[in-house]
Structure 1
Amino acid sequence: MNIQKINANGIGIAYVKSDDKIITDVQSALDLMATVRYEVDCNRIILDKSAVCEEFFDLKTRLAGEILQKFINYQTKIAIIGDFSTYSSKSLKDFIYECNNGKDIFFLPDEDQAITKLREVD
């Protein structure tokens, strides 16, 4: 795992890159938040979709809700970047839409949009 700190108009954003799955369960998400805070002192994270297990995107598993609730509880904003058009689930598309209209969790196509969104939210 490689963590790059981005300074976006005075706001620190951690871009976490990895060839391995980083988020596979609730504990791994907590570990990610703790590592990012310890190493680069950020509470805003960009993570590639490929670093998140596929079960996360199957809402029936309830994994996404459990994990994302931890990000909200620990006041950490996250943008997961990648191509989400491959998913056909209407409920997942609705979930992504609702997240993107909030202020804590975002599903965006690329790093630039993630930086812009994470920089703008309070």
Structure 2
Amino acid sequence: MADVMQERAGVQVLMCDPDGPKVATEQDALDLIGASFLGAEVVAVPASRLDASFFSLGTRFAGEIMQKFVNYRLRLAVVGDISEHLRESSALRALVRESNSGGHVWFVPDLEALDERLRAVA
């Protein structure tokens, strides 16, 4: 399955294929942003597609990727179980908590939780 555009809770979402290529560089993130120009307001990326460096905040990769989405006025939703990463890093737990209280980047456990977030902002 390729990345596909879907309407979810009245919002256009680029749903990234869980089996797609890893997001391991800024260019990979920019490629997703480019694909979203077909009308998406949100890009939903499975947590499994994010390179491990995304969850290691010392690399600054997460901040760089998140800032790219903010700059292009797109919401980023990281979808999936990241509990293993959260157990290992209090800084990541703080980032997730802060991100989830805002409107640009969300960490959600599944698509139902994404739909709830989308309904709340629609």
What TM-score do you get using the length of structure 1 for normalisation?
Answer: 0.88
Tell me if 1:64 matches 2:69.
Answer: no
Bigger drift between 80-89 and 93-102 goes to 80-89
d(CA) in 1 for partners of 2:2, 2:119: 21
Give the CA RMSD over aligned residues: 1.7
CA spacing shift, 1:45–1:33, aligned 2, 3 Å: same
Per-residue CA deviations over 1:42-83 (Å, capped at 9, x if unaligned) read 121111101110001000000100110000000010111111
Match of 2:92 in 1: 92
- Secondary structure of the structure 1 residue equivalent to 2:3: strand
Q: Of 51, 54, 71, which aligns to 2:52?
A: 54
Match of 1:79 in 2: 77
Percent identity, aligned pairs only, is 32
CA spacing shift, 1:89–1:35, aligned 2, 3 Å: same
Q: How many residues align?
A: 120
Off by >3 Å, runs of 4+ in structure 1:
none
**Is the Cα contact below 8 Å between 2:9 and 2:115 reproduced in 1?**
no
**Is the Cα contact below 8 Å between 1:77 and 1:118 reproduced in 2?**
no
Runs (5+) with no aligned partner, structure 2: none
Bigger drift between 75-84 and 14-23 goes to 14-23
- Secondary structure of the structure 1 residue equivalent to 2:14: strand
Runs (5+) with no aligned partner, structure 1: none
d(CA) in 2 for partners of 1:47, 1:20: 10
d(CA) in 2 for partners of 1:92, 1:116: 23
Match of 2:11 in 1: 11
What TM-score do you get using the length of structure 2 for normalisation?
Answer: 0.88
CA spacing shift, 1:10–1:120, aligned 2, 3 Å: same
